[in-house]
Chain A
Amino acid sequence: MAESPSGAPSAAENITTATDGEAAPVGGFSLSTSAAATVFRTRVFGAEDLHRAQTRIAHEIVERNHGPRDVVLVGLHHRGPEIAQRLADAIESFEGVSVPVGALDVAFYRDDIGLRRVQPLGPTEVPVDVTGRVVVLVDDVLFTGRTIRAALDAITELGRPRSIQLAVLIDRGHRELPIRADFVGKNLPTAEREDVRVRLRETDDVEEDTIELWGPDGGDE
Protein backbone atom coordinates (compact mmCIF):
# COMPACT_ATOMS: atom_id res chain seq x y z
CA MET A 1 0.00 0.00 0.00
CA ALA A 2 1.44 3.34 -1.01
CA GLU A 3 1.41 5.75 1.85
CA SER A 4 0.25 9.26 2.19
CA PRO A 5 2.06 11.87 4.25
CA SER A 6 1.02 12.10 7.85
CA GLY A 7 -0.42 15.15 9.49
CA ALA A 8 -3.25 17.34 8.35
CA PRO A 9 -4.95 16.28 5.15
CA SER A 10 -4.18 18.47 2.18
CA ALA A 11 -5.65 18.60 -1.25
CA ALA A 12 -2.58 16.97 -2.72
CA GLU A 13 -2.71 14.17 -0.21
CA ASN A 14 -6.22 13.53 -1.28
CA ILE A 15 -5.02 13.12 -4.81
CA THR A 16 -2.36 10.67 -3.72
CA THR A 17 -4.65 8.51 -1.68
CA ALA A 18 -7.53 8.65 -4.09
CA THR A 19 -5.50 7.54 -7.06
CA ASP A 20 -3.94 4.77 -5.02
CA GLY A 21 -7.35 3.31 -4.49
CA GLU A 22 -7.68 4.42 -0.89
CA ALA A 23 -10.50 6.51 0.40
CA ALA A 24 -9.86 10.16 1.04
CA PRO A 25 -8.90 11.28 4.55
CA VAL A 26 -11.38 12.52 7.06
CA GLY A 27 -12.44 16.08 6.58
CA GLY A 28 -14.46 16.06 3.43
CA PHE A 29 -12.07 18.12 1.33
CA SER A 30 -13.35 18.63 -2.16
CA LEU A 31 -11.30 16.89 -4.81
CA SER A 32 -13.20 17.84 -7.90
CA THR A 33 -10.95 20.69 -9.01
CA SER A 34 -7.58 19.66 -7.64
CA ALA A 35 -7.76 16.11 -9.00
CA ALA A 36 -7.96 17.44 -12.53
CA ALA A 37 -4.73 19.35 -11.96
CA THR A 38 -2.66 16.18 -11.49
CA VAL A 39 -0.55 15.53 -14.55
CA PHE A 40 1.69 12.77 -15.84
CA ARG A 41 5.39 13.39 -15.17
CA THR A 42 7.35 10.36 -16.17
CA ARG A 43 7.26 6.61 -16.62
CA VAL A 44 9.31 4.91 -13.93
CA PHE A 45 8.94 1.31 -15.00
CA GLY A 46 7.45 -0.44 -17.98
CA ALA A 47 6.51 -4.09 -17.85
CA GLU A 48 9.88 -5.47 -18.97
CA ASP A 49 11.99 -3.31 -16.69
CA LEU A 50 9.73 -4.10 -13.77
CA HIS A 51 10.09 -7.80 -14.52
CA ARG A 52 13.88 -7.44 -14.49
CA ALA A 53 13.79 -5.54 -11.20
CA GLN A 54 11.59 -8.22 -9.63
CA THR A 55 13.91 -10.95 -10.83
CA ARG A 56 16.90 -9.10 -9.38
CA ILE A 57 15.15 -8.64 -6.04
CA ALA A 58 14.30 -12.35 -5.96
CA HIS A 59 17.97 -13.19 -6.51
CA GLU A 60 19.06 -10.74 -3.84
CA ILE A 61 16.67 -12.20 -1.29
CA VAL A 62 18.08 -15.68 -1.89
CA GLU A 63 21.66 -14.43 -1.87
CA ARG A 64 21.28 -12.44 1.34
CA ASN A 65 19.73 -15.40 3.15
CA HIS A 66 22.11 -18.03 1.77
CA GLY A 67 19.30 -19.81 -0.02
CA PRO A 68 15.53 -19.71 0.09
CA ARG A 69 15.18 -22.00 3.09
CA ASP A 70 13.28 -20.43 6.01
CA VAL A 71 12.23 -17.45 3.89
CA VAL A 72 8.56 -16.39 4.03
CA LEU A 73 7.38 -13.64 1.69
CA VAL A 74 4.61 -11.56 3.29
CA GLY A 75 2.93 -8.96 1.09
CA LEU A 76 1.15 -5.93 2.50
CA HIS A 77 -2.29 -5.16 1.16
CA HIS A 78 -2.86 -3.56 -1.33
CA ARG A 79 -0.65 -5.10 -4.16
CA GLY A 80 2.00 -6.49 -1.80
CA PRO A 81 0.61 -10.04 -1.79
CA GLU A 82 0.63 -10.16 -5.60
CA ILE A 83 4.20 -8.83 -5.76
CA ALA A 84 5.25 -11.36 -3.12
CA GLN A 85 3.76 -14.12 -5.27
CA ARG A 86 5.76 -12.88 -8.27
CA LEU A 87 8.95 -12.99 -6.22
CA ALA A 88 8.10 -16.50 -5.05
CA ASP A 89 7.51 -17.61 -8.63
CA ALA A 90 10.86 -16.16 -9.64
CA ILE A 91 12.65 -17.91 -6.77
CA GLU A 92 10.97 -21.18 -7.69
CA SER A 93 12.07 -20.81 -11.31
CA PHE A 94 15.78 -20.58 -10.49
CA GLU A 95 16.02 -22.41 -7.15
CA GLY A 96 13.32 -25.01 -7.64
CA VAL A 97 11.99 -24.28 -4.16
CA SER A 98 8.50 -23.06 -3.39
CA VAL A 99 8.71 -20.26 -0.82
CA PRO A 100 5.60 -19.68 1.33
CA VAL A 101 3.68 -16.50 0.49
CA GLY A 102 1.43 -14.66 2.93
CA ALA A 103 -0.67 -11.54 3.05
CA LEU A 104 -0.83 -8.97 5.83
CA ASP A 105 -3.33 -6.24 6.51
CA VAL A 106 -2.06 -3.51 8.80
CA ALA A 107 -5.17 -1.31 9.15
CA PHE A 108 -5.72 -2.13 12.83
CA TYR A 109 -2.09 -1.35 13.66
CA ARG A 110 -1.79 2.03 11.97
CA ASP A 111 -0.85 5.11 13.98
CA ASP A 112 -3.10 7.43 11.97
CA ILE A 113 -6.39 5.82 12.99
CA GLY A 114 -8.75 8.70 13.62
CA LEU A 115 -6.68 11.10 11.50
CA ARG A 116 -7.93 9.71 8.23
CA ARG A 117 -10.21 7.00 6.99
CA VAL A 118 -8.63 3.62 7.58
CA GLN A 119 -10.14 0.38 6.36
CA PRO A 120 -8.87 -3.18 6.10
CA LEU A 121 -7.83 -3.85 2.51
CA GLY A 122 -7.74 -7.64 2.55
CA PRO A 123 -7.45 -10.69 4.76
CA THR A 124 -4.37 -11.50 6.79
CA GLU A 125 -3.24 -14.97 5.76
CA VAL A 126 0.20 -16.26 6.62
CA PRO A 127 0.28 -20.00 5.82
CA VAL A 128 3.21 -20.93 8.07
CA ASP A 129 4.40 -20.19 11.58
CA VAL A 130 6.76 -17.25 11.20
CA THR A 131 8.64 -18.01 14.42
CA GLY A 132 12.31 -18.71 13.64
CA ARG A 133 11.90 -17.85 9.97
CA VAL A 134 13.08 -14.95 7.85
CA VAL A 135 10.09 -12.81 7.00
CA VAL A 136 10.47 -10.58 3.96
CA LEU A 137 7.78 -7.91 3.95
CA VAL A 138 6.82 -6.93 0.41
CA ASP A 139 5.12 -3.70 -0.66
CA ASP A 140 4.86 -1.63 -3.81
CA VAL A 141 6.00 1.82 -2.64
CA LEU A 142 8.01 2.81 0.45
CA PHE A 143 7.18 6.38 1.47
CA THR A 144 6.83 7.61 5.07
CA GLY A 145 7.54 4.21 6.59
CA ARG A 146 4.40 4.25 8.70
CA THR A 147 2.81 1.30 6.94
CA ILE A 148 5.96 -0.71 7.58
CA ARG A 149 5.98 0.25 11.26
CA ALA A 150 2.41 -1.01 11.51
CA ALA A 151 3.43 -4.17 9.65
CA LEU A 152 6.22 -4.84 12.16
CA ASP A 153 3.65 -4.75 14.95
CA ALA A 154 1.23 -6.92 13.00
CA ILE A 155 3.77 -9.57 12.06
CA THR A 156 5.26 -9.89 15.55
CA GLU A 157 1.79 -10.72 16.88
CA LEU A 158 1.79 -13.75 14.62
CA GLY A 159 5.11 -15.03 15.99
CA ARG A 160 8.78 -14.18 16.50
CA PRO A 161 10.64 -14.22 13.20
CA ARG A 162 14.41 -14.72 13.25
CA SER A 163 14.65 -11.58 11.19
CA ILE A 164 12.40 -9.28 9.21
CA GLN A 165 13.51 -7.74 5.93
CA LEU A 166 11.80 -5.38 3.53
CA ALA A 167 11.43 -5.52 -0.26
CA VAL A 168 9.76 -2.71 -2.25
CA LEU A 169 9.43 -1.92 -5.93
CA ILE A 170 9.89 1.83 -5.39
CA ASP A 171 11.57 3.78 -2.61
CA ARG A 172 10.37 7.34 -3.06
CA GLY A 173 11.99 8.89 0.02
CA HIS A 174 10.38 11.19 2.61
CA ARG A 175 10.72 8.79 5.50
CA GLU A 176 9.20 9.88 8.80
CA LEU A 177 10.56 6.91 10.75
CA PRO A 178 13.95 5.18 10.96
CA ILE A 179 13.06 2.49 8.43
CA ARG A 180 14.89 1.45 5.26
CA ALA A 181 14.34 -1.24 2.65
CA ASP A 182 16.69 -4.19 2.21
CA PHE A 183 15.69 -4.80 -1.42
CA VAL A 184 14.66 -1.98 -3.74
CA GLY A 185 13.48 -2.04 -7.35
CA LYS A 186 14.29 1.61 -7.91
CA ASN A 187 15.11 4.63 -5.77
CA LEU A 188 12.94 7.43 -7.08
CA PRO A 189 13.49 11.01 -5.92
CA THR A 190 10.05 12.61 -5.59
CA ALA A 191 8.45 15.75 -4.27
CA GLU A 192 6.19 15.10 -1.32
CA ARG A 193 3.09 16.09 -3.26
CA GLU A 194 3.80 13.84 -6.18
CA ASP A 195 2.10 10.52 -6.62
CA VAL A 196 3.67 7.20 -7.59
CA ARG A 197 1.06 5.24 -9.51
CA VAL A 198 1.58 1.51 -9.57
CA ARG A 199 -0.62 -0.51 -11.92
CA LEU A 200 -0.24 -4.28 -11.95
CA ARG A 201 -2.03 -6.87 -14.06
CA GLU A 202 -3.27 -8.82 -11.05
CA THR A 203 -4.67 -5.90 -9.09
CA ASP A 204 -5.48 -3.00 -11.39
CA ASP A 205 -7.27 -4.38 -14.42
CA VAL A 206 -4.51 -3.38 -16.84
CA GLU A 207 -2.98 -5.32 -19.75
CA GLU A 208 0.56 -4.39 -18.85
CA ASP A 209 2.33 -3.41 -15.64
CA THR A 210 3.32 0.23 -15.33
CA ILE A 211 4.71 2.48 -12.65
CA GLU A 212 4.39 6.21 -13.30
CA LEU A 213 5.10 9.43 -11.48
CA TRP A 214 2.31 12.00 -11.47
CA GLY A 215 2.24 15.38 -9.82
CA PRO A 216 0.41 18.67 -9.45
CA ASP A 217 0.26 20.81 -12.56
CA GLY A 218 2.76 23.67 -12.57
CA GLY A 219 5.97 21.81 -11.92
CA ASP A 220 7.85 20.96 -8.74
CA GLU A 221 7.20 22.95 -5.65
Chain B
Amino acid sequence: MKHLLSIEDLDRDGIVGLLDGSEYMSDVLAREIPKVPALRGKTIVSLFYEDSTRTRLSFETAAKRLGADTMTFTAGSSSVTKGESLLDTVRTIESMGIDAMVVRHASAGAPHRIANWIDASVLNAGDGRHGHPTQALLDAFTLRRHRGDISGARIGIVGDVRNSRVARSGIQCWSRLGADLTLIGPPTLMPERLEGWPVQVTFSLDDVLSELDVIYVLRVQQERIGRALLPSLREYYARWGLDAVRAQRLKPDALVMHPGPMIRGSEIATEVVDGPRSLIREQVANGVAVRMAVLWDLIGSGGVV
Protein backbone atom coordinates (compact mmCIF):
# COMPACT_ATOMS: atom_id res chain seq x y z
CA MET B 1 0.00 0.00 0.00
CA LYS B 2 1.44 3.35 -1.04
CA HIS B 3 -1.15 5.75 0.42
CA LEU B 4 -4.00 5.53 2.90
CA LEU B 5 -6.61 7.86 1.47
CA SER B 6 -9.85 6.05 2.12
CA ILE B 7 -11.12 2.86 3.74
CA GLU B 8 -12.61 2.12 0.32
CA ASP B 9 -9.07 1.32 -0.86
CA LEU B 10 -8.96 -1.60 1.58
CA ASP B 11 -10.75 -4.93 1.44
CA ARG B 12 -11.52 -7.02 4.48
CA ASP B 13 -8.11 -8.72 4.47
CA GLY B 14 -6.36 -5.38 4.15
CA ILE B 15 -8.19 -4.06 7.19
CA VAL B 16 -7.55 -7.21 9.22
CA GLY B 17 -3.86 -7.05 8.25
CA LEU B 18 -3.58 -3.53 9.64
CA LEU B 19 -5.46 -4.49 12.80
CA ASP B 20 -3.11 -7.45 13.31
CA GLY B 21 -0.14 -5.14 12.75
CA SER B 22 -1.59 -2.80 15.37
CA GLU B 23 -1.38 -5.62 17.91
CA TYR B 24 2.39 -5.75 17.41
CA MET B 25 2.59 -2.00 17.83
CA SER B 26 0.47 -2.14 20.95
CA ASP B 27 2.98 -4.67 22.26
CA VAL B 28 5.83 -2.23 21.55
CA LEU B 29 3.96 0.56 23.37
CA ALA B 30 3.58 -1.62 26.46
CA ARG B 31 7.36 -2.02 26.85
CA GLU B 32 9.53 -0.11 29.26
CA ILE B 33 11.18 1.54 26.27
CA PRO B 34 8.15 1.99 24.01
CA LYS B 35 10.16 2.71 20.91
CA VAL B 36 11.71 0.76 18.03
CA PRO B 37 14.06 1.91 15.27
CA ALA B 38 11.85 0.59 12.47
CA LEU B 39 11.49 3.93 10.64
CA ARG B 40 14.86 5.39 11.57
CA GLY B 41 15.93 7.92 8.98
CA LYS B 42 12.41 8.45 7.66
CA THR B 43 10.80 11.87 7.83
CA ILE B 44 7.08 12.33 8.34
CA VAL B 45 5.33 15.67 7.99
CA SER B 46 1.93 16.48 9.37
CA LEU B 47 0.19 19.00 7.20
CA PHE B 48 -2.85 20.32 9.03
CA TYR B 49 -5.16 22.82 7.39
CA GLU B 50 -7.79 22.19 10.03
CA ASP B 51 -7.63 22.15 13.81
CA SER B 52 -6.88 18.92 15.56
CA THR B 53 -5.60 17.80 18.93
CA ARG B 54 -5.67 14.05 19.11
CA THR B 55 -5.13 13.09 15.50
CA ARG B 56 -2.06 15.25 15.01
CA LEU B 57 -0.47 14.34 18.33
CA SER B 58 -1.38 10.70 17.81
CA PHE B 59 0.31 10.58 14.40
CA GLU B 60 3.36 12.38 15.69
CA THR B 61 3.64 10.08 18.69
CA ALA B 62 3.27 7.09 16.39
CA ALA B 63 6.03 8.37 14.11
CA LYS B 64 8.38 9.02 17.03
CA ARG B 65 7.71 5.60 18.58
CA LEU B 66 8.92 4.10 15.31
CA GLY B 67 12.06 6.22 15.32
CA ALA B 68 11.07 8.57 12.49
CA ASP B 69 11.70 12.30 12.45
CA THR B 70 8.62 14.48 12.42
CA MET B 71 7.81 17.97 11.25
CA THR B 72 4.57 19.84 11.72
CA PHE B 73 2.87 22.29 9.46
CA THR B 74 -0.22 24.14 10.57
CA ALA B 75 -1.87 26.42 8.07
CA GLY B 76 -2.52 29.22 10.53
CA SER B 77 1.18 29.88 11.20
CA SER B 78 2.57 29.38 7.69
CA SER B 79 3.04 31.05 4.32
CA VAL B 80 -0.53 30.01 3.52
CA THR B 81 -1.54 33.21 5.25
CA LYS B 82 0.61 35.04 2.67
CA GLY B 83 -1.33 33.41 -0.16
CA GLU B 84 0.73 30.34 -1.05
CA SER B 85 -1.30 27.69 -2.89
CA LEU B 86 -1.75 24.12 -1.66
CA LEU B 87 0.31 22.80 -4.58
CA ASP B 88 3.21 25.15 -3.88
CA THR B 89 3.12 24.45 -0.17
CA VAL B 90 3.14 20.71 -0.72
CA ARG B 91 5.96 20.85 -3.29
CA THR B 92 7.99 23.07 -0.98
CA ILE B 93 7.67 20.60 1.85
CA GLU B 94 8.45 17.67 -0.41
CA SER B 95 11.66 19.38 -1.52
CA MET B 96 12.92 19.08 2.03
CA GLY B 97 13.01 15.32 1.57
CA ILE B 98 10.13 13.55 3.21
CA ASP B 99 8.77 10.00 3.18
CA ALA B 100 5.18 10.53 4.28
CA MET B 101 2.73 13.36 4.59
CA VAL B 102 -0.17 13.21 7.02
CA VAL B 103 -2.86 15.52 5.68
CA ARG B 104 -5.90 17.07 7.25
CA HIS B 105 -7.90 19.47 5.13
CA ALA B 106 -11.37 20.97 5.16
CA SER B 107 -11.92 20.02 1.51
CA ALA B 108 -12.91 16.49 0.65
CA GLY B 109 -10.39 14.98 -1.75
CA ALA B 110 -7.43 17.19 -0.82
CA PRO B 111 -5.28 14.18 0.25
CA HIS B 112 -6.07 12.46 -3.07
CA ARG B 113 -4.89 15.51 -5.00
CA ILE B 114 -1.72 15.75 -2.95
CA ALA B 115 -1.04 12.06 -3.54
CA ASN B 116 -1.02 12.79 -7.27
CA TRP B 117 1.46 15.62 -6.87
CA ILE B 118 4.19 14.05 -4.78
CA ASP B 119 6.22 10.86 -4.50
CA ALA B 120 5.89 10.51 -0.74
CA SER B 121 3.15 8.42 0.86
CA VAL B 122 0.03 10.36 1.81
CA LEU B 123 -2.15 9.55 4.80
CA ASN B 124 -5.59 11.05 5.06
CA ALA B 125 -6.06 12.39 8.59
CA GLY B 126 -9.53 13.75 7.82
CA ASP B 127 -10.74 15.54 4.69
CA GLY B 128 -13.90 17.58 4.90
CA ARG B 129 -16.96 15.37 5.17
CA HIS B 130 -15.32 12.60 3.17
CA GLY B 131 -13.23 10.32 5.31
CA HIS B 132 -11.02 9.69 8.31
CA PRO B 133 -9.62 6.23 7.71
CA THR B 134 -7.27 5.92 10.69
CA GLN B 135 -10.13 6.82 13.03
CA ALA B 136 -12.17 3.99 11.55
CA LEU B 137 -9.25 1.59 11.95
CA LEU B 138 -8.59 2.55 15.55
CA ASP B 139 -12.28 2.19 16.35
CA ALA B 140 -12.34 -1.26 14.76
CA PHE B 141 -9.15 -2.20 16.61
CA THR B 142 -10.59 -1.05 19.94
CA LEU B 143 -13.83 -2.91 19.39
CA ARG B 144 -12.08 -6.06 18.22
CA ARG B 145 -10.03 -6.11 21.41
CA HIS B 146 -13.21 -6.09 23.46
CA ARG B 147 -15.40 -8.38 21.42
CA GLY B 148 -12.89 -10.58 19.64
CA ASP B 149 -15.02 -10.45 16.53
CA ILE B 150 -16.87 -7.52 15.03
CA SER B 151 -18.88 -9.64 12.64
CA GLY B 152 -22.53 -9.71 13.71
CA ALA B 153 -22.19 -6.86 16.19
CA ARG B 154 -25.11 -4.45 16.11
CA ILE B 155 -23.57 -1.00 16.03
CA GLY B 156 -25.67 2.15 16.30
CA ILE B 157 -24.09 5.37 15.02
CA VAL B 158 -25.88 8.29 16.61
CA GLY B 159 -25.90 11.91 15.58
CA ASP B 160 -24.71 14.06 12.74
CA VAL B 161 -24.02 11.32 10.20
CA ARG B 162 -24.54 13.74 7.33
CA ASN B 163 -21.51 15.85 8.14
CA SER B 164 -19.37 13.15 9.68
CA ARG B 165 -16.29 11.83 7.94
CA VAL B 166 -15.81 9.59 10.96
CA ALA B 167 -19.19 7.98 10.31
CA ARG B 168 -18.48 7.59 6.60
CA SER B 169 -15.16 5.82 7.15
CA GLY B 170 -16.58 3.89 10.09
CA ILE B 171 -19.47 2.55 8.02
CA GLN B 172 -17.09 1.43 5.28
CA CYS B 173 -14.76 -0.23 7.75
CA TRP B 174 -17.30 -1.93 9.98
CA SER B 175 -19.45 -3.16 7.11
CA ARG B 176 -16.38 -4.83 5.59
CA LEU B 177 -15.87 -6.56 8.92
CA GLY B 178 -19.45 -7.83 8.93
CA ALA B 179 -21.09 -5.55 11.50
CA ASP B 180 -24.80 -4.82 11.44
CA LEU B 181 -25.08 -1.01 11.24
CA THR B 182 -27.89 1.33 12.19
CA LEU B 183 -27.75 5.08 11.70
CA ILE B 184 -29.68 7.06 14.29
CA GLY B 185 -30.42 10.78 14.36
CA PRO B 186 -32.67 13.60 13.25
CA PRO B 187 -33.77 13.39 9.60
CA THR B 188 -32.01 16.67 8.88
CA LEU B 189 -28.67 15.18 9.92
CA MET B 190 -28.98 12.00 7.88
CA PRO B 191 -27.24 11.79 4.50
CA GLU B 192 -29.45 12.89 1.62
CA ARG B 193 -29.01 9.66 -0.28
CA LEU B 194 -28.45 6.30 1.32
CA GLU B 195 -28.90 3.95 -1.64
CA GLY B 196 -26.20 1.36 -1.59
CA TRP B 197 -25.15 2.06 1.99
CA PRO B 198 -25.03 -1.14 4.02
CA VAL B 199 -27.05 0.39 6.86
CA GLN B 200 -30.48 0.66 8.42
CA VAL B 201 -31.79 4.04 9.48
CA THR B 202 -34.01 5.11 12.33
CA PHE B 203 -34.88 8.53 13.67
CA SER B 204 -35.60 7.26 17.16
CA LEU B 205 -32.75 6.35 19.49
CA ASP B 206 -35.15 5.03 22.12
CA ASP B 207 -36.60 2.48 19.69
CA VAL B 208 -33.30 0.68 19.15
CA LEU B 209 -31.32 1.51 22.28
CA SER B 210 -31.86 -1.82 24.01
CA GLU B 211 -30.84 -3.82 20.93
CA LEU B 212 -27.42 -2.30 20.37
CA ASP B 213 -24.13 -4.01 21.16
CA VAL B 214 -22.25 -0.79 20.56
CA ILE B 215 -23.43 2.79 20.58
CA TYR B 216 -21.12 5.10 18.68
CA VAL B 217 -21.88 8.70 19.55
CA LEU B 218 -20.86 11.40 17.08
CA ARG B 219 -20.02 14.94 18.00
CA VAL B 220 -22.53 17.61 17.13
CA GLN B 221 -20.38 19.48 14.62
CA GLN B 222 -21.63 22.99 15.09
CA GLU B 223 -18.98 24.34 12.76
CA ARG B 224 -20.44 22.26 9.90
CA ILE B 225 -24.15 22.33 10.75
CA GLY B 226 -26.31 25.20 9.62
CA ARG B 227 -28.74 26.60 12.16
CA ALA B 228 -31.67 25.50 10.06
CA LEU B 229 -30.73 21.83 10.42
CA LEU B 230 -30.52 21.87 14.18
CA PRO B 231 -32.64 24.52 15.81
CA SER B 232 -31.88 23.65 19.42
CA LEU B 233 -29.05 21.76 21.10
CA ARG B 234 -31.29 21.15 24.09
CA GLU B 235 -33.89 19.45 21.95
CA TYR B 236 -31.19 17.41 20.26
CA TYR B 237 -29.85 16.20 23.58
CA ALA B 238 -33.35 15.35 24.82
CA ARG B 239 -34.02 13.05 21.87
CA TRP B 240 -30.61 11.80 20.74
CA GLY B 241 -28.23 12.51 23.60
CA LEU B 242 -26.78 9.52 25.47
CA ASP B 243 -27.66 10.52 29.00
CA ALA B 244 -27.42 8.41 32.15
CA VAL B 245 -31.04 7.26 31.91
CA ARG B 246 -30.62 6.00 28.38
CA ALA B 247 -27.30 4.38 29.25
CA GLN B 248 -29.14 2.25 31.81
CA ARG B 249 -31.42 0.90 29.12
CA LEU B 250 -28.48 -0.43 27.10
CA LYS B 251 -27.70 -4.14 27.12
CA PRO B 252 -25.61 -5.10 30.15
CA ASP B 253 -22.53 -5.68 27.99
CA ALA B 254 -23.10 -2.89 25.49
CA LEU B 255 -20.14 -0.62 24.80
CA VAL B 256 -19.99 3.15 24.30
CA MET B 257 -17.64 4.83 21.83
CA HIS B 258 -17.00 8.41 20.71
CA PRO B 259 -14.35 9.66 18.30
CA GLY B 260 -13.68 12.87 20.21
CA PRO B 261 -13.56 15.71 20.69
CA MET B 262 -16.69 15.31 22.75
CA ILE B 263 -18.90 17.98 24.17
CA ARG B 264 -20.10 16.65 27.51
CA GLY B 265 -23.78 17.36 27.98
CA SER B 266 -24.26 18.17 24.32
CA GLU B 267 -24.37 14.62 22.92
CA ILE B 268 -23.20 12.43 25.79
CA ALA B 269 -23.38 12.71 29.57
CA THR B 270 -20.31 12.95 31.76
CA GLU B 271 -21.32 9.84 33.75
CA VAL B 272 -21.44 7.84 30.54
CA VAL B 273 -18.12 9.16 29.24
CA ASP B 274 -16.38 8.11 32.42
CA GLY B 275 -18.53 5.05 33.04
CA PRO B 276 -17.53 1.39 32.86
CA ARG B 277 -18.92 0.80 29.34
CA SER B 278 -16.96 3.63 27.83
CA LEU B 279 -14.09 2.81 25.47
CA ILE B 280 -13.42 6.47 24.76
CA ARG B 281 -10.05 6.78 26.47
CA GLU B 282 -8.96 3.46 25.05
CA GLN B 283 -9.81 4.67 21.57
CA VAL B 284 -7.32 7.48 21.98
CA ALA B 285 -4.62 5.20 23.37
CA ASN B 286 -5.13 2.69 20.57
CA GLY B 287 -4.90 5.45 17.99
CA VAL B 288 -1.14 5.55 18.44
CA ALA B 289 -0.72 1.81 17.85
CA VAL B 290 -2.96 1.82 14.80
CA ARG B 291 -1.19 4.80 13.24
CA MET B 292 2.14 3.09 13.88
CA ALA B 293 0.84 0.07 11.98
CA VAL B 294 -0.29 2.24 9.09
CA LEU B 295 2.99 4.17 8.90
CA TRP B 296 4.94 0.92 9.06
CA ASP B 297 2.83 -0.57 6.31
CA LEU B 298 3.20 2.47 4.04
CA ILE B 299 6.87 3.37 4.42
CA GLY B 300 8.47 0.60 6.48
CA SER B 301 7.52 -2.93 5.68
CA GLY B 302 8.44 -2.83 2.03
CA GLY B 303 4.77 -2.47 1.40
CA VAL B 304 4.55 -4.35 -1.90
CA VAL B 305 1.88 -7.00 -1.52
State the A residues within 8 Å of B (CB): 25-28, 105, 107-109, 113-120, 123-124, 153, 157-158
Contacts and interface: CB of A to CB of B under 8 A. Distances in A.
Contacts, number: 49
B195 interface: no
Given A107-B38, A109-B36, A119 B301 contact: yes
Nearest to A106: B36
A113 B300 contact: yes
Q: Closest 6 interchain pairs by CB?
A: A117-B302, A108-B38, A108-B36, A120-B24, A26-B302, A157-B33
B32 interface: yes
30 contacts: A25-B302, A26-B302, A26-B303, A26-B304, A27-B304, A105-B24, A107-B38, A108-B28, A108-B36, A108-B37, A108-B38, A108-B296, A109-B38, A113-B38, A113-B39, A113-B300, A113-B301, A114-B300, A114-B302, A117-B302, A118-B300, A119-B301, A120-B21, A120-B24, A123-B23, A123-B27, A124-B27, A157-B31, A157-B33, A157-B35
B66 interface: yes
- Main SS at interface, chain B: loop
Nearest to A27: B304
Given A109-B36, A123-B24, 6 more contacts: A27-B304, A107-B24, A107-B38, A108-B28, A119-B301, A157-B33
- Main SS at interface, chain A: loop
A28 B304 contact: yes
Interface in B249-292: none
Contacts of A123: 23-24, 27
B299 to A, nearest CB: 8
Given A108-B36, A123-B24, A123-B27, A117 B304 contact: yes
